[in-house]
Amino acid sequence: MSRSYTLVIDCPDRPGIVYSVSRIIFENDGNILESRQFEDRETGRFFLRVVFESGCDQAVLADAVATLGEGFDMDWKLVPTNQPVKVLILVSKFDHCLAHLLYKVRIGEIPIEIVGIASNHPAAALTATDIRDIPFHHLPVTPDTKAQQEASIKALVKDSGAELVVLARYMQILSDDLAAHLSGRCINIHHSFLPSFKGAKPYHQAHAHGVKMIGATAHYVTADLDEGPIIHQGVESVTHEDSPDDLIRKGREVENQVLGQAVAWHVAHRVIRNGRKTVVFKG
């Protein structure tokens, strides 16, 4: 029986990549269903995402891709299409993004398995969220206990098998050590349209500056605060009649949409890091 696979490739650009990938898919009883590619002429990198069906075992396909990859110096990933990704979510007391993600998962729009929710606040603080049977971990933190708390986060990631960590309005700055540990597998939602209005109360800053647009940014976490590779951004028009509370309300809606879309693209293997940027093959 045929099964659908997603193959993602990142390598130095040179002639013959698409031909060679197509050939090994054909030679392994495969049929291409979708293919997207991008050549970054500034960096000389080539990016390819292919969805295909094949009757071959995944291990056989992986061996064929590995052999091909050696000749092209490829970074590659081959996964069953729509295979659920294990996700750990970190949140503080504002839980609108968490509630939105749970809704998207429960109606089947995002193929993820939420293996746990961790917060520096108790579960009772999450007033908008129905956690149900998802494991909840209360990890309070102070400046004196930050190292121990982050060690607990690392242990949660390892023990749960989480492949992705989502900071759904987790209002603690990760240490450089934890940010490096989670590099490439941690997405944050920043409540402003980066790089403007960093730090506390961005909507109040935006109101004070009389902005006409507010927004949110989903990005991969790096040691540089709020400067990781951007996955997705969204904006909403505002006017002089909007109060700071209006901006907060509108901003939360944008945050929900932007984070939800970024997570959906990531788990569908549509996002490839490209230095300080990302290549996103939107669905």
- Does residue 232 surpass a pLDDT of 80? yes
The number of residues making up the chain comes to 283
Backbone angles phi, psi at 30, to 5 degrees: -110, 160
Q: What is the pLDDT of residues 139-169, one digit of tens each?
A: 999 999 999 999 999 999 999 999 999 999 9
DSSP letter (8 states) at residue 56: S
Burial of residue 275 (number of CB atoms within 10 Å: 0-12, 13-18, 19+): exposed
CATH of the domain at 10: 3.30.70.260
**What residues contact residue 185 under an 8 Å CB cut-off, 6+ apart?**
163, 164, 165
- Does 141 lie in the same domain as 247? yes
- Does 90 lie in the same domain as 59? no
0.85 surpassed by pTM:
yes
Separation of alpha carbons 115 and 87, rounded Å: 6
Question: Looking at the annotation, which residues are catalytic?
Answer: 226
- Does 230 lie in the same domain as 176? yes
- Does 90 lie in the same domain as 69? no
- Does 157 lie in the same domain as 75? no
Range of the domain at 168: 85-280
Q: What is the pLDDT of residue 199?
A: 64
- Does 138 lie in the same domain as 98? yes
Q: What is the pLDDT of residues 52-107, one digit of tens each?
A: 999 999 999 999 999 999 999 999 999 999 999 999 999 999 999 999 999 999 99
CATH of the domain at 166: 3.40.50.170
Bridge partners for 218 per DSSP: 189, 232
- Does residue 194 surpass a pLDDT of 60? no
- Does 247 lie in the same domain as 216? yes
